A and B are shown apart, each in its own frame.
Chain A
Amino acid sequence: MTTQENPMGSIYILTQAIRTVARNAALQSYGVISLTPGTMGESVSKFLRKDSDYGVIVKTEDEGVSLELNLIIEYGLRIKTVTDLVAESVKYAVEKTMAVPVKRVDVHVRGLRVSNPD
Chain B
Amino acid sequence: MTQKKYVLPEEKERRKLLKSPINGDGLMLLFEAGLIWLTTNQAYVNSLNVFPVPDGDTGTNMVLTMQAAFKEADENRTKNVGATAKAFAQGALMGARGNSGVILSQIWRGFSRALDHYETMDPNLLMRAMQEARNTAYKGVVKPVEGTILTVLKDMTTGAEEAVNQNAGLSEMLLRIVEAGDESVQNTPELLPVLKQAGVVDSGGTGLYYIFEGMLKMLNGESLDASGAVLKPLAELDLANAMETVEEGQDYEVVIDFAPHPGFSLEAYYAELEKIGTSIQVGEGEGIYRMHIHTELGKRYDPIAYTETQGIVKKIMMENLQDQMSGLNEAEEELALVPVNPGDIAVVAVSPGKGLSAIFASLGVAAIVEGGQTMNPSVQELLASFENLPTDRIIILPNNKNIILAAQNAAKVSVKKIAIIPTRNSPQGFAALLRLNPEGTLEENEESMKEAILEVHTGEITISTRSVEIDGVDVEKGQVIALYDGKLVSSTPTIEAAIESLIIKADMDEVERITFFYGEGLNQTQANQLADGVRKDYPNIEFEIHDGGQPHYQLIIAFE
Contact = CB atoms under 8 A, between A and B. Distances in A.
Interface in B114-152: 136, 139-143, 145
Interface of B is mostly: helix
A32 B142 contact: yes
Contacts of A24: 143
Contacts of B418: none
Contacts of A81: 96-98, 101-102
A85 interface: yes
Given A30-B102, A116-B136, A118-B113, A78 B96 contact: yes
A31 B93 contact: no
A34 B140 CA distance: 11
Nearest to B204: A30
B414 interface: no
Given A78-B93, A116-B113, A31 B140 contact: yes
A83 B93 CA distance: 14
B98 A77 contact: no
Given A77-B93, A78-B94, A81-B97, A30 B109 contact: no
Given A27-B143, A30-B140, A77 B106 contact: yes
Interface of A is mostly: mixed
B410 interface: no
Given A84-B405, A116-B136, A118-B113, A78 B143 contact: no
A10 interface: no
B142 A77 contact: no
20 contacts: A24-B143, A27-B143, A28-B143, A30-B102, A30-B140, A30-B141, A31-B141, A34-B142, A74-B140, A77-B106, A78-B93, A78-B102, A81-B98, A85-B98, A85-B99, A85-B102, A88-B405, A115-B136, A115-B139, A116-B110
Interface residues of A, number: 21
Contacts of B93: 76-78
Contact of A28 (B96, B136, B145): B145
B140 A77 contact: yes
A82 interface: yes
B405 A76 contact: no
B514 to A, nearest CB: 27
A100 interface: no
Interface of B: 93-94, 96-99, 101-103, 105-106, 109-110, 113, 136, 139-143, 145, 405
B68 to A, nearest CB: 10
Contacts of A85: 98-99, 102
Contact of A76 (B97, B109, B145): B109
A59 B96 CA distance: 32
| Ranked 9 nearest A-B pairs via Cβ | A78-B96, A74-B140, A115-B139, A27-B142, A30-B141, A81-B96, A28-B143, A81-B102, A31-B140
Interface in A24-38: 24, 27-34
A82 B102 contact: yes
Contacts of B101: 81
Contact of B105 (A29, A77, A115): A77
Residue from A27, A28, A76 with most neighbouring chain B CB atoms (10 Å): A76
B56 to A, nearest CB: 15
Contacts of B113: 116, 118
A82 B96 CA distance: 10
B124 to A, nearest CB: 21
A88 B401 CA distance: 12
Given A27-B143, A31-B106, A77-B102, 9 more contacts: A24-B143, A28-B145, A30-B99, A30-B141, A31-B102, A33-B142, A74-B106, A85-B99, A116-B113
